[in-house]
Structure 1
């Protein structure tokens, strides 16, 4: 507890008692109570009786009110030398604000009655109080003006963001082309946040990867990364926002891209794109905000944009699926019509070939008749296979077969076709054992792959066919010296209607090839490099 002399000295430092002599302050110093209050203490509450006035000796308090929206807003901060709680004892009303200690404080407390008596008996105190209230009113006015200006700037910023969000929504909802859509979503995100660059990834649920399209030179190239790897991969896995002011201070950031390109990544914002059910369908990755780090407002904007983007992405996917289903349906109807129209002519040809074989008595003519019968059956079965694929039907007749004999017969037929196009067939067939397969379907797989290889060598070249045994599987490789294919095509080659470098065909060939191999519980792999050719590798279970 401070001595009387110390109290008087402290009171003289207060704005309320400025200019007063020690003698005039002595009676007041005797009636003051010294109180200590910890940070967090509510000194006064709204609508409570005003029975005390406090003079702050040291520490800090916050004066606040609760708005009609239930939000607590700070009116002012008071420190050593300030007086608090003086109005309620004077006007007889309840407390009009809440006072909370924000920093451990020591105060002098005086009752409301004693304070009122002090004002009546001492004109200096009354004058100082009036001046202090005037200063507070001026500061309050400045504070109100400052807050109004801050609110105006904030509202203008939000209106601008809302306008950008509206324009972005119009843009991304005006196309059903997925590639164009990704570009528009990225443009909306980078321009709205003043980001230097970025990427919008989509989730591939089957491969557990993120993928996107980026511009490389004049072409769009596909990039992929595993979910859970890298910052974008972690966001796709966890659904959490990652906002990094300086990526070089974050161990999760891989600097290899910067080293390779010379680009300097500074700030990064990575956020999930979720559909209406909360499922993560993509990831936003934005780099280098123009004026520093990405803000909470930026996060809120991307979160809002994500809602529009996810709907647009799912609409585009549904539209693509509908178009693909319609194309499959159209091809199915065409195949059904062809089968119906050619059934009788093909049956007639088949019967005539059988009659020719019986009546010719010539071995060579008999072989030609057998080949006619085989090719008629192949044509009808191939058309039926397209029809089955469009309907999602799968039927196999898998039996144990002597592989070497079948492969030689297939290669003999393929060789005749390749020679017409100046393509040399090289045989490295080592496997002669048994294999489990549907002969008709796998033969058509080999024909299809060889035909694609031929088309990739318009000026001639070579096709090497290798067979060998590999750990319970028969390994069949088709290696051409053709033009090769870019990575983007290689990754999509088994998709329906995917064609590359062809002016004819349905685009179903390799999709059917993969389905047949999968149905055999086998695997198919592709290695290709532009200008160096393509290798297609099929692994089938050995018998």
Structure 2
């Protein structure tokens, strides 16, 4: 049988019975009922009737009040030697707070009637109760003051964060340039949550990747990660927040990244950037919060910031589309004017060239006349193609052609241009077959690619053109030994108005090339490396496809 804790020694230890004689304590024991309360047991609830006084013999309890917002405030912790439940017996009101056992707690309880008789008959107990209540009231006063101070401090922090968010929203809406905007958003996020550095990734839905820009030396490079790869890719795919307080003791962190960069990561916060609809459009990855790990408040701030950031990013993209649309419209108007103004004189030149060829009887003059006719047609058709592209018009004149003849013909003219620029043309034509295509447009595609290759080799070089049957498709490759291009340019090369290393041109050439290849149900790829050159690879369906 478990030994009782209800002894004279334990009662004497209680603050209510200090200096009370043993004879009286023995009498009080007879009034008491010994009770045990397991951890987390609610001994009594707020607003219930109080019928007993409780004397703590062993263990620990807490007295709490719940606010109307559901928050629990601890008024006091009481242990062995304390008592509770006296106020309801004294003022005959309902319980003013909830009492819960923090751990296994043993109590002796006295009924209201016995408690009243005990107070009336013993002045020492009266004084002890009074002193304990006074002490507890002082403690409760201090608890309330501390809680008010804490609430005021939390309110100040919330107001500070709100003001910071307002300032951040103003800042990130200050630019419509997407690259500059991304820098502003990242700098704002780093500053606002006191991180040492960070990366902002945007999601590329079409490619299933996230991408960011970083400075490597003096060059800005583009970083791309497949969804699901690395912490940032994982967060972009799952939408989970990954808050790592100690990077090197967390298996999710890859220390190889630090080894390559020379940077030491202590803590990390990686979380999704969502738009107003909750859709993930990017990822924040913050490193090394000053003063300790990232807090839930940091997570809340970045979550709020991401909504403003997503709106700003959407506005910047819309602005870019509007500018691009306006630029295309302007180019279209210019092309329309050029075609209108030059069609007649160009037609006259073409007729004169045909007459020269017919009447000269001279082989060399005939070749010059053919070249004039060819260049006039090329110029007019190129201008018409720009006009069609700017208007979104797409039409093809598909016919069956012997592909090797088309290639030989176009390379003969290309070689003349390349020779003038000290560029050697190497031909590796291994495809002989028929292909259905718009010969004029495909020829201009090849001219455009060869012209870009020539411009990329200002000091001369070699352009290798090869063809190969790859099973239902003909693969055409243009490989130069030129300057190459950086990754971020390569990824955007088929977008309108993107140029690299050229002082002339509209920036529409490769966009039109891509459109023509798409219209032929073909594919176009690009490989390029700075300082080593570029390969443009085109695949077109053959008659055997």
TM-score range, shorter chain: over 0.9
Give the whole-Å Cα distance in 2 for the aligned partners of 1:346 and 1:56: 108
Deviations 1:307-340 (A, max 9, x none): 1111111111111111111111111111122222
How far is 1:82 from its partner? Answer: 1.5
Counterpart position of 2:194: 194
Give the whole-Å Cα distance in 2 for the aligned partners of 1:478 and 1:4: 96
How far is 1:441 from its partner? Answer: 1.0
Contact 2:6 2:108 in 1 (8 A): no
Matched, 1:399 2:399: yes
Give the whole-Å Cα distance in 2 for the aligned partners of 1:459 and 1:276: 53
How far is 1:354 from its partner? Answer: 4.3
Deviations 1:415-436 (A, max 9, x none): 1111222222222222232223
Contact 2:6 2:29 in 1 (8 A): no
Counterpart position of 1:320: 320
Q: Secondary structure at the match of 1:200?
A: strand
Give the whole-Å Cα distance in 1 for the aligned partners of 2:192 and 2:460: 53
Structure 1: 5+ residue runs without aligned partners? none
Counterpart position of 1:342: 342
Give the whole-Å Cα distance in 1 for the aligned partners of 2:465 and 2:429: 7
Deviates more, 1:401-410 or 1:520-529: 520-529
Q: Secondary structure at the match of 1:115?
A: helix
Give the whole-Å Cα distance in 2 for the aligned partners of 1:468 and 1:301: 57
Give the whole-Å Cα distance in 2 for the aligned partners of 1:5 and 1:45: 25
Matched, 1:146 2:151: no
- Report 1:512-523 matches (<5 A): 512-523=512-523
How far is 1:450 from its partner? Answer: 0.8
Residue 519 to residue 499, structure 1, CA distance change in 2 (3 Å): same
Counterpart position of 1:474: 474
Give the whole-Å Cα distance in 1 for the aligned partners of 2:79 and 2:436: 90
Give the whole-Å Cα distance in 2 for the aligned partners of 1:540 and 1:6: 96
Contact 1:89 1:113 in 2 (8 A): no
Residue 3 to residue 350, structure 1, CA distance change in 2 (3 Å): closer
Give the whole-Å Cα distance in 2 for the aligned partners of 1:392 and 1:269: 45
Residue 448 to residue 50, structure 1, CA distance change in 2 (3 Å): same
Residue 521 to residue 250, structure 1, CA distance change in 2 (3 Å): farther
TM value normalised by structure 1: 0.95
Give the whole-Å Cα distance in 2 for the aligned partners of 1:93 and 1:531: 88
- Report 1:260-279 matches (<5 A): 260-279=260-279
Matched, 1:206 2:203: no
- Report 1:64-463 matches (<5 A): 64-358=64-358, 368-463=368-463
Matched, 1:62 2:62: yes
TM value normalised by structure 2: 0.94
How far is 1:505 from its partner? Answer: 0.7
How far is 1:356 from its partner? Answer: 4.6
Deviates more, 1:502-511 or 1:154-163: 154-163
Give the whole-Å Cα distance in 2 for the aligned partners of 1:267 and 1:518: 47
Deviations 1:91-140 (A, max 9, x none): 12222112223323221111112112111111121121122112212322
Q: Secondary structure at the match of 1:30?
A: helix
Q: Secondary structure at the match of 2:102?
A: strand
Residue 4 to residue 197, structure 1, CA distance change in 2 (3 Å): closer
Residue 108 to residue 24, structure 1, CA distance change in 2 (3 Å): same
Contact 1:4 1:30 in 2 (8 A): no
Deviates more, 1:321-330 or 1:68-77: 68-77
How far is 1:346 from its partner? Answer: 2.9
The alignment of Structure 1 onto Structure 2 pairs a total of residues equal to 543
Q: Secondary structure at the match of 2:59?
A: strand
Contact 2:47 2:94 in 1 (8 A): yes
Contact 1:204 1:210 in 2 (8 A): yes
Deviates more, 1:98-107 or 1:483-492: 98-107
Give the whole-Å Cα distance in 2 for the aligned partners of 1:9 and 1:353: 127
Contact 1:244 1:293 in 2 (8 A): yes
